Chains A and B, each alone.
Chain A
Amino acid sequence: MLQYIKDFIEPAPQPDSSRLVFSNVSRRGFLKVSAAGFAVAAFSADANAFARYKTGGDSMPNGLRYDPHIFVSIDPDGTVTIVAHRSEMGTGSRTSLPMVVADEMGADWAKVKIVQAEGDEPKYGNQDTDGSRSMRHHVQSMRQMGASVRQMLVNAAAERWGVKPSDIKAGVHEVVNGANRAGFGELAEAAMKQPVPAFEELTFKEASEFRYIGKGKVGIYDLHDITTGKAVYGADVVLPGMKIAVIARPPVVGATPVSKDATQTMTVPGVEEVVDLPGSIMPAKFAPLGGVAVIATNTDAAIRGRDALEIEWSDSPHSNYNSENFTQEMRKTAKKPGKILRKEGDPDGAFKSAAKVFGQEYSQAHMVHAMMEPPVAVADVKDGKAEIWAPVQSPYGARGDIAAALNMDIENVRVNVTLLGGGFGRKSKCDYAIEAALLSQKTGIPIRVQWTREDDIHHSFNATTSVERIEVALDNDNKVTGWRHNSVAPSILSTFAPDSGHQFAIESGMGHVDMPFEIPNVSVENGAALAHTRIGWFRAVSNIPRAWAIQSFASELAVELGRDELEMMLELIGSDRTLDPPKQGFPDDFWDYGEIYDEYPIDTARLKNVLKLAAEKAGWGKELPEGEGIGLAVHRSFVTYVASAVRVKIVDGQITVPEIHMGVDCGFAVNPERIRSQMEGACVMGMTVALHSGVTYENGAVAESNFHDYPMVRSTNFPQKVHTHIVEHPFSVHASGIGEPGIPPVPPAIANAVFHATGKRVRDLPMGESI
Chain B
Amino acid sequence: MATLKINGESRTIDGPDDTNLLWAIRDMAGLTGTKYGCGVGLCGACTVHVDGVAIQSCQATIGDVAEKEVTTIEGLSADGEHPVQVAWRDQHVPQCGFCQAGQIMQAASLLSEKPNPTDQEILEGMSGNICRCGCYERIVAAVRVASTGA
Contact = CB atoms under 8 A, between A and B. Distances in A.
A603 interface: no
A680 B89 CA distance: 17
B94 interface: yes
Contacts of A681: 95, 133-135
A244 B30 CA distance: 14
A339 interface: no
A680 B134 contact: yes
Given A300-B15, A684-B136, A90 B97 contact: yes
A421 interface: yes
B3 interface: no
Chain B interface category by residue count: 35 or more
Interface string B116-146: 0000001110111111111111111000000
Contacts of A92: 95
Contacts of B76: 228
B27 interface: yes
Contacts of B31: 229
A19 interface: no
B15 A715 contact: no
A233 interface: yes
* Residue in A92, A233, A373 whose Cβ sees the most chain B Cβ within 10 Å: A373
Nearest to A300: B23
Interface in B27-56: 27-28, 30-40, 42-43, 45
Contact of B94 (A220, A269, A707): A220
A226 B134 CA distance: 16
B94 A244 contact: no
Contacts of A673: 92
A455 B85 CA distance: 32
A148 B126 CA distance: 48
Provide the main secondary structure of the chain B interface: loop
Contacts of A715: 122-124, 126-127, 129, 136, 139-140
Contacts of A678: 95
A310 interface: no
B94 A226 contact: yes
B96 A89 contact: yes
Interface in A37-93: 88-92
* Residue in B37, B88, B128, B135 whose Cβ sees the most chain A Cβ within 10 Å: B37
A719 B27 CA distance: 37
Nearest to B125: A715
A679 to B, nearest CB: 10
A200 B24 CA distance: 59
Contact of B35 (A421, A713, A722): A421
A206 to B, nearest CB: 27
Given A708-B40, A708-B42, A222 B97 contact: yes
A171 B85 CA distance: 34
Given A235-B36, A298-B15, A721 B127 contact: no
A374 interface: yes
Chain A interface category by residue count: 35 or more
A228 B42 contact: no
Contact of A298 (B28, B92, B95): B28
B43 A372 contact: yes
Interface string A662-686: 0000000000010001101111110
Contacts of B89: 219, 223-224, 227
* Residue in A88, A232, A372 whose Cβ sees the most chain B Cβ within 10 Å: A372
A456 B16 CA distance: 28
18 contacts: A90-B97, A90-B133, A220-B92, A223-B89, A224-B89, A227-B89, A270-B15, A300-B22, A370-B132, A371-B98, A372-B130, A372-B132, A373-B35, A453-B39, A677-B95, A684-B136, A715-B127, A720-B137
Given A301-B15, A453-B43, A706-B39, 16 more contacts: A90-B133, A229-B33, A229-B74, A371-B132, A372-B37, A373-B37, A422-B132, A422-B133, A673-B92, A682-B134, A684-B131, A684-B133, A714-B127, A715-B127, A718-B136, A718-B137
Interface of B: 15-16, 19-20, 22-24, 26-28, 30-40, 42-43, 45, 72-74, 76, 80, 85, 88-89, 92, 94-101, 104, 122-124, 126-140
Interface of A: 88-92, 219-220, 222-224, 226-233, 235-236, 238, 244, 269-270, 297-301, 303, 370-374, 419-424, 450, 452-453, 673, 677-678, 680-685, 706-708, 712-716, 718-722
